[in-house]
Structure 1
Amino acid sequence: MNKTIIININGTVFHIEEDAYEVLRTYMTEVKRHFAYSPDSDEIVTDIENRLAEMFNERLAADHKQVIVLADVQSVTAIMGNVNDFNIDDEEEESLKSGRKLFRDVDERILGGVCAGMAHYFNIEPKWMRLLAILFIFFGGIGLPVYIILWIIMPAASTRADKMAMKGEPINLQNFKRNFDEEVEGLRGGFQRAHSEVRPAIYQIGKLIETLAKLFIKFIVSLVAFMGILGMIVLFIGLITFLGYWNSNQLNTFPFTIVNPGYKSVLAFSAFIIVIIPIAALVMFALRVLVKRIAISKTVYFTMLIIWIAGLVMGAYHGSKIASEFNEEAEFSVTTPLTPSPVYYLKVNPVEFLTKEDSVRYKIDQTNFKGTLISRNRDYHDPRSVRIQILKGDVDKPTLVQEFSARGSNFEEALSTARKVNHRFTQKDSILTFDPKTHLQRGELWRDQSVSLILRIPENTRVMIEAPVNRFLNDHDYWECRPENAPWDYISSWKMTAEGLKCQYVKPLEVDTDSTSVEVR
């Protein structure tokens, strides 16, 4: 009766007699000691253990037994070879070669490694096997399905033992060592070839990227220089225009009407300096980048900075002077009684009234001049100076309250400016018409002049509002009192109730096709 030991060889459990175990342990100790200084010793030892486990399984299955005995270990280790047998000559090694096995060579594959594996099996060059496969694919028509089938059924040579069996090399320690050395040498040579081949390509790609980057930067800098020069030209033209040398009539509109005549030139120059100095500095920097021979001294930049700061201070001083003329607000009101009516139509005056000076400016023949002109475009870009509020009146008689307001440096000046504001409001029967803006005297500066119209009407009075009035309404929205898909000139209907003005949708008449009667729904 012999003592047995349970061992695990790379994941496979075996029962082995004690004396056989001692021989196997001594053998593996020598193998591990020999390969200890190899760069990939763990992988080599693992492959050797895998091969030992395969050979033990084969012997146990052939002899129909479950325990490894000493004779099994001696036989397997003799086939694998000892570490002292590394000086074997080529002739002896050639005589030890075993039969080849069919594997897919994944190291030399183009697709699946089928052709390379079959080339090893038949001991021919892989290129001839690939050429044969191509001929079968394009001329025989069966090459592709055969290749796919072989790809599926042929195992891949994943371990070092598989690779040696694929090439017909004896699976022993010597070939494990030689196979590993060849693999390392191949990788080293591959890295050297890749380095020698890739380095010039990387250098050329780098030079190309560098050239493209320089061209892109020059394009951007050239564009910046061009836009900067164009902007400086536009600023010069704008300065001349603002000073009144070109088409000065265009400057009699908001926001130019805020500026006092005495500050006009000063503010124009300060704004010009504040904007043009940074643009000029940017253009100079761009030109210096494009033409490296251009040298600009620090004195030039320092002088430009001083000029820019002077323009900023000058503009801030005169800007604060203008802002001081908006310190105080004053207002006064005018109440006008209206002719009573159960319904009022609220409209915006489509006619612009012209003064005598306007008729001269527009070259209108004063002999036939009637004082009005159909407005071509509403000046809706101006600040909204008219507001309308519709409230419930405390008495039965409707009234219109016009509240005029303006600003100034003090209350007296603000009140004087407000009293100069002119706004027209007319009533013709039930039609109430108001101007869309206030009218200032010729040359009057804008000081937030405005007028608030407060329409007070009795309860149950209806108000019909046209679409252009919506811009001037306070507390009510015309678009919320308008049916969907209504025409642009739809007139909304409102009614004054005890709670205030309420929208009254006017629904269209619907005809019942089953009868001749007409009903409102």
Structure 2
Amino acid sequence: MNKTININLANLFFHIDEQAYNKLQRYLEAIKRSFANTSGSEEIIADIEARIAELFHEKMENERQVITEKEVDEVIGIMGQPEDYMVDEDIFEDQPQTQKKPRRVRKLYRDIDNKYIGGVSAGLGHYFGIDALWVRLIWILLTIFSWGGFVFIYILLWILIPEAVTTAQKLDMRGEAVNISNIEKKVKESFDDVAEKVKNVDYEKVGNKVKDGSRGFFNAIADIIMFFFKIIGKFIGIILIIIGAAGIVALLVGLFTVGILDIIHLPGVDFYNLVNSTNTPVWVVSILAFFAIGIPFFFLMYLGLKILVNNLKSIGNVVKFTLLGLWLISIILLTVFGIHQAAAHAYSGNVAIEKELVFAKPSEPVKINLRSTDRDKQENNMRINGIVLDYTENGEEILISRDFRLYLKMSHDSIARIEVRKNANGNSFKNATETAGKINYSYLVQGNTILLDDYLSTGRENKFRDQDVRVYLYLPMGTKVEFGSSPENCWIIRANNDRNMDGCEISQFSWIMDKGGEMKCENCPEIEEVDDDKNGKIIINEDGVDIDIKGNGDNFKLKIDDKGVQIKTNETNRTYLKEDTVQ
């Protein structure tokens, strides 16, 4: 059992055990002794303590964790021993280096020491290893060609990128190791820089007059802009936190109630099972969708917290790259599933069955009746693109569809035929043809009556593959056709007729199959419009067609009867007799 001590290091509070505290105290005292006679020693020591506190904070998993000797040794290993990093004056001269140490990864900060407005360009210059002048020129060009649009991006970066204040942050900005040697060197450089400016104050005053004036002006403007944009930034941060948190909570609720545990059975799950061609369990897709959508929501919430909380602890690169990897894997797998699903409808196949029809009385009219079903009318049935999920008497799940059409055509001989064509989609032609063959459809011939189902069915295991049935009824020329009681889905009837009627209108009259495959109406009413002396008349009846149009001083008259065709206008008067002679 070890004694625990509470310490305040660089304004950060830590719990540390006694042995670790003693070792850390000896280490800091050694550093103070090594910099006792060095200019700027107080600032050097303060920066070293700030860096040590930062390293301790990164290693802590929670606020109640106790710092042990292990963490102290790791920090000392990073910072180095004072005797190993004694810096003399020659280190700043251009001496050849015997060994070049690898540079650390730079961190993005705003360089406020070399700023003109907000230090964004100078910070980007350090981060990418180029002169800040080039970055400023790029900003100017982008702003000009975007009609000022990049100004808002600059302001956003100004708000989000922190400024390099401490020596450790300035070293991180340049990609230099934050250890005792570099901290001392950086502080001494600052002091030497100040001393040099004092010596040349008169020359600098003249040489940098314009630059200092511009900085002063922009600093005043910057303070005003920053005040308003900080308020806007905090408001944006709150919105991002609300959106991110709400999205994650909604996804968690959906994941556990529907996707995994199926506590709440929603119709969407049945819909997924009907269209799913990969046979991937719904819980797997739910987890992948949770990661694909939830991780961006998490980073939205994290960004909002970073905007609101200035000293928010980083989640660490391990967590960031782990979440990024999970997101990429989820996106890739969902894309693969989507491609596989789309491929299930890539090919179309059909199975056609043709049979001859024998009627009891060929001289009498053929009567067509459509049989409907009410199994797809229940309100609790799930529907998708006209297909309904239902159950047989044995409790088996089946799919019922109304995707049916009836086409009346003329037979090429004196024999009546019926062709039932079943169609479906699949991931290959073979699969599509097999799926089409599993469609159930029936019809019945009784005397001179044909009973046709206006629906089809298939097993649920065949899933939704755009199944449909097309029935082609071929009748010899001269065959009379009648329909039973007006069918519920009368619009599914297709037939070329002399009245240009749709299926519902066709089912109300009697027809005869005429030459050319056109059905001629036998009992349709006459089409006649009232005679109007002012504008003319249009009369169509059994005597023929009589059209007489008047208007704007022009007259047009067309008469067609058993004698022939007569056309009369203001300029012409022609008659075409039935015997094809012209008068």
TM-score, with normalisation over the residues of structure 2?
A: 0.38
More helix by share: 1
More strand by share: 2
Larger Cα-atom Rg: 1
TM-score, with normalisation over the residues of structure 1?
A: 0.41
